[in-house]
Each structure stands twice: as structure tokens, then as C-alpha cells.
Chain A
Amino acid sequence: MAGFLARRLASLVFVLWAMTVLVFAVVHLLPGSVAHMILGEYATSAAIAALEERLGLNDPLHLQYWRWFSGLLQGDFGVSLTMDRPAGPVILEALGRSAVLAAISIVLVALAGVALGIHSATHAGSASDRALTLGQYFFIAVPEFFWCILVILFFSVWLGWLPATGYTPLAEGGLLGWAKHLILPVATLVLGLIAHVSRLVRSSMLEALESRYVLAARAKGLPERLVLRRHALPNALMPAITVLAVDVGILIGGIVVVESVFAYPGLGRMLIYAIDNQDLPLMMGGMIVVTAVYALANLAADILYAVVNPRIRVGGAA
């Protein structure tokens, strides 16, 4: 297990480093001068030269990369070009707000997805299973921006129950005010993912229920509840864990869309802002943070997988 962890951590560090190179390369190696990009097409050459001087764009590339990379290692993401603030705290605040959105969503997806999947598998072929299947395919097929518009129309415009956009910090609006702004974004984020995860849990649970060890467990005279909980579920959850990690990636993509539609001030909206305004330090820092979050989610899934799968945890044959 220790060796497994060490290998996974080493590859995590490698992935993050490779991502810094990639992000840097995309921004600096693409045709066109960075300063030109920032100042727009009508900038005077004097202004461009001044900006290049200020940003150190005349230095050799490897020196620029090293400056940025060593800054990252110390937690310094540079200074935002448009806000005149260090980019680090800006990213961190946005990350915090997105993390709330993501954490609530992923917990909901895991709980509801697994629960619905188990229900469908144990009631396979029943009316409720067929209704769920229909709903699941529907929610997988329809993209989240469609739901964004629909729920805003329904709950905000028509019923007026919930705010359509914005964000209230917990300290200002209290629990209710804070939660009101979260309900619609979370709901639109999780619909498709719950459908996805519950489909998968259904099929892996069905496979486990068809297995010989479940037959053997029943032949031992165990009550069905124990057969499900002790014998079928641990094996059925293994593929679900892998898929949840992949879904974190889908969730990040979804967050960018949802934050834009609901004007929720998170990392996704910040990234869009940075791109729109050519705020390079903010953009590069944001991309690195997103990569790190995804890589860490995969690491967590790998560790969780090893915990439930003794073949990885305990290792080879005797």
C-alpha cells in the first residue's frame, strides 16, 4: 500500500508539473505578442514596449517560465493585470466558493446515484426501475445549460421562489440567504451526473447480484439484506468510485457553465473573466488550480478504490 501511494503521489507531482509547462507554452508560444494581446490592436508600439518591459516579456522564455514556476511553488500567482491585486487571493476566494458548489454536488451525486442505482438493480424490470431508466437517459442526454434556463424561468421568473443570479456570503445573508443562491446551481449541476452514476451503479450491482459469490452467500442462508450489504455492494461500488472521479472532471466543466449563467462568483466565472480580459496571471493560475483539483480527485478515487479492493491493497497471490 505504501508503494502504491508513493507511485500515485509521484505521478501526481509529474502531472502538475507537466501542466505548468503546457499552460505556459500555450500562452507564450502561440503566435502574436502577449503585450499586443493584452493591450489590443490599437496600442502604440511605445505602450507595447513599456508593458513588455514591465512584464519581463523580453527575457528568454525559460527565464520567464522559471520566474512564474518558482512563484507558483511559493504560492505566488503573480499580480492580476486588470484588478491590480495579487492573483493568488482572487483565485483562492473564487475557488472557495466553487468548492462549496462542487462539494455539495459531488456528495449529492454520490449518495443519490448509489441509492437510486441500488434500488433499480434490486427492483430490476419493475415499474419504478423502468421509470428511473427513462428519466436517467433523459437527464444524461440533455445538457445542463438547458436546465439552467428552465429552472430560472420556472423558479425565479414564474414562481419567484429563488434568486436567479448572484451570491450572498454566509456572514451577510445567514444560512437561508446563502443557501437560496446555491439551490438552483447545484440542482442543475447534479441532474445529469446522478443519472450517470445511478446507471452505472445499477449495472455493476446487477452484475454483482448475478455473480457466483452472491449465489453462494444466499446458499449459506444469509438474509437478503446482508447479501446486498456485505456481498454485493462492496464489489458493485468499485467501478462507481472510478466513475465518480471522472465525473469530477465533468462537474468542473459544468461549473464553468453554471457559474456563468447564474452569475455565481466562483472559479469558473473567474476563468471566463480572465480570458475575456486577457488577464494572463489570473488565467494561468486558475488553470493550474483546476488541474490540481482534478488530479487530487483522481488520487482520492485511487486511494478509495484500493481501500475497497483487497487485490490492490494486499497485493499478489500467495
Chain B
Amino acid sequence: MSIKETEELILNMGPQHPSMHGLFRMVVHLEGETITKIEPKLGYLHRGMEKLAESRTYAQFIPYTDRLDYLASPHNNWAYVQTVEKLMGVEIPERAEYLRVIFGELARIASHQVMIASTALDMAGWSAWSYAFRDRERICDMYEMTAGSRLTVNIMRIGGMSAEPPEEFWPALKSFLDDTPEMLEEYYGIFFGNEIALGRLKNVGILSKEMAENLSITGPVLRASGVDYDVRKAEPYSIYDRFDFKVPVRTGCDSYDRTIIRMDEIVESIKIIKQAVRDIPEGPVMAKVPKVIKPPAGEVYHRVENPKGELGFYIVSDGTTKPSRVRIRPATFINLQMLPIVALGWKIQDVVAIFATLDAVLGEVDK
């Protein structure tokens, strides 16, 4: 009997698959268990945000931005309202700026907690998942106190914040900040100290520095490849130039560094929130903005550092109450381009690890 030739196996992963973080689908070509080609298929959650924006007024579009990266919705609000404010030349009150920083950094912590939890889950670590989600609940509670909802908070307005946080917000925030060192200790112990997790993540999926720059990668994925770049430092928006914090950079370029860099970022976010709580002034949270928002004709591109990378809005106004074009530059959509390149030659289980460390949220990828 002759030996049969090996045949290429085509495997479809997703869109309904627990490790696909939403509705992501990829067609994987396998030679044995080794990957020879990956074709990501996007669009299962495409809602046509950019088209919807053209038929809504500027203020009406704010709730839609919540649905982009739904794990860090205050950030999406922030990017959008700041772009409109830049276009109109609106100055917002000091207190609102500080509140935006507090909620933005809380969202960053919550988003990174979900990332750590879901990466642990993809590595079959159920218990680590429950620890991070337990702590994230407290941030959701703080959202709920202020804005009334827990996930898509819609907390910012053109010209300030939707509401002043209630009295019970401040003690809740303080106790959360006091407990964070203990929380991080637990994550380190249960996930990053786990040999199975380390084996699945260390030296898996190397993304070199040159490759990352050429692929327009941003955010923690770029910084884990040894590039010191953060929009908060490079082009400080809002009041980030007033705070003392570091940008964590790691040079391992592998899945492990892409995961643990989020832990470093949580530490820095806590530092920023503590400084903001210390310095926050009294005053109104909303500027005087005309009832009908009608920016002058013009165009502006503005970007913020979303937990996943750089989120940019490019708005073209024609001088009417509705935007002529709203372009969303989603961070993870562009970061996702590394997956078919980096995963080549790895085994099928490594693709799950590489995809998890990208921290893709399909609401943002598919818009």
C-alpha cells in the first residue's frame, strides 16, 4: 500500500465560537495542525455606523458611539464629542474635563479586566475569569450610579458631561482604588503565575517592531513590541498633560507581553485617577452650548488613546446640522491585520491565544 499524501484541511472558525469574542469568523488552512493560511471574514456585526451618522444630528450620534467598543464606551463618547468640540471651538468646564478623565480611566481598567479575563478563559482558566469579572462589576456599578446604565453608558455630551456623579460615587471610587493592589495581586497569582497559561503565551506569535509600525498597529499591542507611543503623551488631549504617569513598554513582542502590559496599564490608570480625584475643582459640568449644534464647514481628525489602541474620528461638516461624513478609525480593525501574518506556522491552539491578546471587540471591528 502506498502512503497517502497529506491533504490541506480547511477549518472554519466562528462566527459562533466561544473563542471568537463576538461575531468573528476566520477560515483556517491547516497542514496537519500547522497553519498555512488564515482568511478573516468580517462584517457579521456591521451596522453601517458611518452611514447612520449622515442622517442624524451631531448630538443624536453620541449613543451610537457607545456601541463601537462596548467594553469601554466612555472612551468612544469622548473621542466623538471632542472631535465635534474641536470643530465648533467649544471650551468645556474644568470639572467636566476631570470627570472625563476619571471615567475614561475607569473604562480602561474595566476593558483591561475583561481582556485578562477572556484571555484566561481562552486558555481554559475559568477561575481567573471570574476574579476579573467580579472586580469589573464595581466599575459597572459606578457607571450605573452616574448614568443609569452599566455597559453602554452614554455619559458624555457635546460641551461636558451628562450628569454630576451622585454623592455615593466618591466613596465607591475610593474603596475601589484602595482595593486594586490586592486585585492585581490576585490576577498575578491565579493567571500570570500559572504554568499552563505561561506555556501557551510565552514566545507565541512574535510581532516585530518594524512589522508593527508598517501594519499601523496602535495601543498596547504596539507598546508590547517595544515602541514607546501613546497618544496621551505624544499629543496630549483633554488635560492629560497635567498628570504624572508612565507609558508601560515591553519588548518581548509575544502574546505574554501583550497580555501583561495591560496589568501595567491598570497600575498607571489608577495613578491618574488618584491624581484627578485629588485635584478636581468644583463647578458646572456642562458648558453653554447652543441648542442646535451647527458646526462651521470644515473637517477635523481627532484621536484618543482607547484601551485597545488609537480611536480616531474624522468629521467633515458642510455647515448644516448633520455631518457630511463621519469616519471612524477603529483601533482593533487595523490591529487585526496582524493575525494572518503573525499566526502563520503556529498550531491551531496558538491562533486562539494570538487572537485573544489582540483584544478585538467586534463592535468596533465591524462598526
Partners in one complex: no
Residues of A within 8 A of B (CB): none
